[in-house]
Structure 1
């Protein structure tokens, strides 16, 4: 397991090398207490998972910003840790009650970056991601703010999250007009149930040289054995939110999937993550472990290869859109 987990990949065109999985921190605060979160982070880093993904609003179950504060305390626990870890956070979500406490205005970007730096206890953010596209702000304004932060050394690289393919293209066009590198990554939801990124987001990212981070690779736990856990009374995350609502529409497919994994003798969570890892254009799935056991399962997925026949069977259970592949070939003869 350790050898697989130590594999490194290039992060787009940045020259950075990162572990094949990123550690997502959305559960740190409210679901995973700080001592457990610290142990998860320690184990992940020991296995070469050096990219840690958070957001300024994470930890909202305690208070917005709590997760960055937790990470700051963890980062300060070792002299080398800050240099060993690639810190990724996000900006754009609601952080207060004021009219300018969200979005991608220069006002909010710069204030939010400074606040994230204070909470993280660091002098720079390695990857500063726009949490979602803001239609009310021009790219000229966004890139002016990001350029200022980069020039000041507060931000090393800029990424996007939840962008459409055309958002990526627009952002890159505007950035290059200013002589900037622009986006280096896109973080999108992508899994066996959510295959829309294959149409335009993944092709756009590849065309512009972006790394692709994948959030919800198990669709909020739905692909981790949700039906079995429900029968056993052990369902937690998979019994609520995204997973619970999707199960209503996809129960037959999920039943086939769990039977397929059972026939293989493999954990559904490891199979679902192995599928994402196999996809062209995907750089780093973001796993959000609540427990060390969930992290260990994710690490095993690095060595859970899927054969061509197994991938074909998964396509039958969860078909791609149209004829598969990028638009417009997916629906044109």
Structure 2
């Protein structure tokens, strides 16, 4: 495994990040343990979770599964770069959500307890909180760092100007600021190319794309349907919307002799500022299959062909001006 720096930081992570959203709701605890063990065997050291994952409001089911896996010992915690998130609704009371200093402090302590660890490697804002100033956000994160409860800070779902504002606020406090940004980015969703990716590239922030397979649309969905497998109603609606592109994409993957899911991940790894796409396997087969993406070398001709199928964006303002 060739490890890469997370943005401008010295932290080395695997070029694929193990997403754990399925642990609990779709994947049993036993299977989740097996997937995480296998991830380590394959060299994946970067795991992502969130306090709201697990399907039961306020319970942090997925974090608790990871915590019980850490508790099995064998160097599991020491080998893992664990990232979790704070922002979303954890209860009925007004300060059980978003990014106030009070909620950040309480949420961090709760995540540490569920994860059965004394620190979080990357503590991420799950979304922007328009009602909390960055001065308060950074003060809360600075206190957590001083207490040894977190090491790095990341963001998720920030716009480009949010990233710029966050970094300038951190700089005024002589802080490192954000080291990562999780953004919705894939061949079908290329809006981040306008401002998010350029901002991250300029500030040295590692991009961690979520939904790299567009909810399954880029995983060979037409092949699966042809074999008699069913798809969710929401996916079928999106497939109807993008069928022409998906047909052309799967045909091109056939020409390459590669699986569509692997090509989608390999494409992301060629994009500016991207550190590690988040893969969210439900099964061991899906986990092991993802590693093929690291071996695919898309040349300029292949990248140009993908741009023809899925037109992207130039950096703002050139995309919409001169």
The two structures have a TM-score, normalised by structure 2, of 0.96
Give the alignment partner of residue 139 of structure 1, picking from 134, 137, 144: 134
Identify if the C-alpha distance between structure 1 residues 307 and 8 changes in structure 2 by more than 3 Å, giving closer, same or farther: same
The question of whether the paired residues in 1 share the 8 Å contact of 2:57 and 2:90 is answered with no
Three-state SS of the structure 2 residue aligned to 1:128 is strand
The C-alpha deviation readout for 1:257-314, integer Å capped at 9, x for no partner, is: 1121123221111111111111121111110001111111110111022122111111
Give, in angstroms, the shift of residue 176 of structure 1.
1.3
Give, in angstroms, the shift of residue 196 of structure 1.
0.7
Asked whether 1:265 is paired with 2:260, we answer no
CA distance in structure 2 between the partners assigned to 1:98 and 1:245 by the alignment: 37
Aligned to 2:321: 332
CA distance in structure 1 between the partners assigned to 2:46 and 2:265 by the alignment: 17
Of residues 280-289 and 123-132 in structure 1, the stretch that sits farther from structure 2 once superposed is 280-289
Gaps of 5+ in 2: none
Give the total of aligned pairs.
Answer: 322
The question of whether the paired residues in 2 share the 8 Å contact of 1:183 and 1:210 is answered with yes
CA distance in structure 2 between the partners assigned to 1:136 and 1:245 by the alignment: 35
Asked whether 1:218 is paired with 2:216, we answer no
The C-alpha deviation readout for 1:150-189, integer Å capped at 9, x for no partner, is: 1100011100000000000101111111121111111101
Three-state SS of the structure 1 residue aligned to 2:317 is coil
CA distance in structure 2 between the partners assigned to 1:124 and 1:190 by the alignment: 29
Gaps of 5+ in 1: 1-5
Aligned to 1:157: 152
Give, in angstroms, the shift of residue 112 of structure 1.
0.3
Give, in angstroms, the shift of residue 332 of structure 1.
2.7
Aligned to 2:312: 320
Aligned to 2:6: 11
Asked whether 1:308 is paired with 2:297, we answer no
The question of whether the paired residues in 2 share the 8 Å contact of 1:222 and 1:244 is answered with no
CA distance in structure 1 between the partners assigned to 2:58 and 2:24 by the alignment: 9
CA distance in structure 2 between the partners assigned to 1:168 and 1:175 by the alignment: 11
Asked whether 1:78 is paired with 2:73, we answer yes
Within-5 A mapping of 1:191-230? 191-230=186-225
The C-alpha deviation readout for 1:169-217, integer Å capped at 9, x for no partner, is: 1011111111211111111011000011111001101111111111111
Three-state SS of the structure 2 residue aligned to 1:220 is helix
Of residues 146-155 and 59-68 in structure 1, the stretch that sits farther from structure 2 once superposed is 59-68
Aligned to 2:24: 29
CA distance in structure 1 between the partners assigned to 2:200 and 2:258 by the alignment: 32
Give the alignment partner of residue 176 of structure 2, picking from 144, 159, 181: 181
**How large is the RMSD of aligned CA atoms in angstroms?**
1.5
Give, in angstroms, the shift of residue 64 of structure 1.
3.7
- Segments of 4+ in structure 1 off by > 6 A? none
